[in-house]
Amino acid sequence: MKYKSFIGTFFFTLILTVLGHVFFISLIDPQQTAPLSLSKSHENYHDNFLLKKVKLIERFPFETLILGSSTSEAFLVSEVNHHFKTQSFHASIGGGSTVARYTLFKKALKSNNSLKRVIYIADFFEMNKLSVPDLIAFNNELKMEIDTQDFMPHMGHYLKYLFSHQMLESAFLVMKRKRKNYHSPLLVDGSTGQSMILSTVETLASFNSKISSHNRIKLNEEILENYGTYSNNVLAGFEELNIHAKNLVESLVSESQKKSIEVIFILAPYHESFRKKLLSNPKLSKRYLEWITFFESLNSQSGVFVYNPTTSNIAIDPDSGVWRDGIHFNQFAATYFLKEIAENRRLNHE
């Protein structure tokens, strides 16, 4: 009898714990994705930064939307505003997939009649296997922008997401924020005072600068670490350019054309050493060329301009001083690109 009640107690406690977890997550709703939202989480505290950006997009009037991942962090709102004589919003998301960028674009399109331009900093990794971020897939407001269910997660995935330690940690984070009257570091134009990049390499304030020997050592270590992450994880199993990612990019272009919105694609370059290591893999080398070819093919479309700095000075000079690591260049390099694009457009219009 005691063994029966032992097993009975085990399952009873388990069920109670599961229900308690679901109740707790529904109450806090840290990522605005709970199955039942039992309370409305103040928009300052919740942990769905995509939704936070969308709320800002809906409130803040702007003409230029900057889309990208951490590589686009270098493209400062002030520099874009200056070179394009515009008011821009920085909608970049760390590790931002094509789905995340497209969602933000659609929200901007819906809520902002003054949108004239999209600056899309394209990353090579985007075109690998596409997965819809959970923050979008399980939030009703965000997922409505994704038309196709072909690549949306299913109920099994949702249960894994709900019963994950990340969700529980996110709930505790939200509770902590409420207690400490947290203020979001997000500014009204979408930028933040905090960098997404952890590198300690000191870069230089000129496009043609050369890195110091001291920073060279640090940079090499960063590149080695980037290579490990990219080759084992981010770019693993890269068999072909993802068809859904390509379709989303093309949809972004066609929907922009309908509203006479200019689209500028900037193909984010890599540091020469990093790129050489990565592309020594023949499969990745092929994918990289296909990625460039795909975006350059969009150049022929009306209202689209593709800027390809993947063979610019900073991308072929291993001693370039603008690199924070193998993937992220600094704001001075980004400003140089912006200047070139603005100049090129000015010449085209004359």
Partner 1 sequence: MLFTSYEFLFLFFPLVFFFYFVVVPKPLKLYFILAASCLFYGFWSFKFLPLLLGTIFTDFHLGRMIGQSTNEKKKKQLVVFSVVLNLTFLGFFKYFNFFLDNANSLLSLLGQSHLAGLGEIILPLGISFYTFQSMSYTIDVYRSKFKPYDDFFPFAAYVTFFPHLIAGPIVRHSEMVNQLSESTKKSFNVELASRGLVYFVIGLCKKILIADNIAASINPVINMMSIATTLESWACAIGYTFQLYFDFSGYTDMAIGLGLIFGVRFPQNFNSPYKSFSITDFWRRWHMTLSFWLRDYLYISLGGNRLGVTRTYLNLFLTMLLGGLWHGASWTYVLWGAFHGGLLVIEKRFNLDKKTSFVFFQSCLTFFLVVIGWVMFRAEHLDLLLVWFNKMFSLEGGWKLLHFSARTRDRFAIALVVGMALVWFCKNTTELDLKFKAFKPLAALLAIAFFIGILFLGSDSPFLYFQF
Which positions touch partner 1 (CB under 8 A)? 2-14, 17-18, 21, 156, 160, 163-165, 168, 198, 220-221, 224-225, 228-229, 232
Q: Cβ 345 to partner 1, closest distance in Å?
A: 41
- Minimum Å gap between C-beta 14 and partner 1 is 4
| Shortest distance, position 30 Cβ to partner 1, whole Å | 14
Beta carbons within 10 angstroms of residue 197's beta carbon: 18
Q: How far is the CB of 1 from partner 1 (least distance, A)?
A: 9
Helix (H, G, I), strand (E, B) or coil at 120: strand
Exposure letters 23-53 (e unless 16+ CB within 10 A, then b): ebbebbbbbbbbeeeeeebeeebbbbebbbb
**How many residues can be counted in the chain?**
350
Residue 309 Cβ, how far from partner 1 at the closest point, in Å? 28
In 259-330, which ranges are continuous DSSP H helix?
272-279, 282-297, 313-316
Contacts 24+ apart (CB under 8 A), 222-225: 222/324, 222/325, 222/326, 223/271, 223/273, 223/274, 223/277, 223/325, 223/326, 225/325
Tell me whether residue 231 or residue 301 sits nearer to partner 1 (CB atom).
Answer: 231
57 vs 132, beta carbon nearer partner 1: 132
CB nearer to partner 1: give 91 or 171: 171
DSSP 41-98: --TTT-S-HHHHHHHHHHHS--SEEEE-SGGGGGS-HHHHHHHHTS-EEE---TT--H
Dist CA 102 CA 247 (whole Å): 11
CB of 142 to partner 1, least distance (A): 22
DSSP state of 124: G
Shortest reach from residue 165's CB to partner 1, in Å: 4
Q: How far apart are CA 217 and CA 295, in angstroms?
A: 34
Which lies closer to partner 1 via its Cβ, residue 12 or residue 23? 12
- If the CB atoms of residues 2 and 258 are measured against partner 1, the closer one turns out to be 2
For the bound state, the minimum distance from the C-beta of residue 24 to partner 1, rounded and expressed in Å, comes to 12
Minimum CB distance to partner 1 smaller for 131 or for 310: 131
Rounded Cα distance between 312 and 267, Å, is: 11
As a whole number of angstroms, the distance between CA 277 and CA 318 comes to 12
**Closest to partner 1 by CB, 129 or 339:** 129
Q: Report angle CA 226, 229, 230 to the nearest 5 degrees.
A: 80
Which of 17, 285 has the CB closer to partner 1? 17
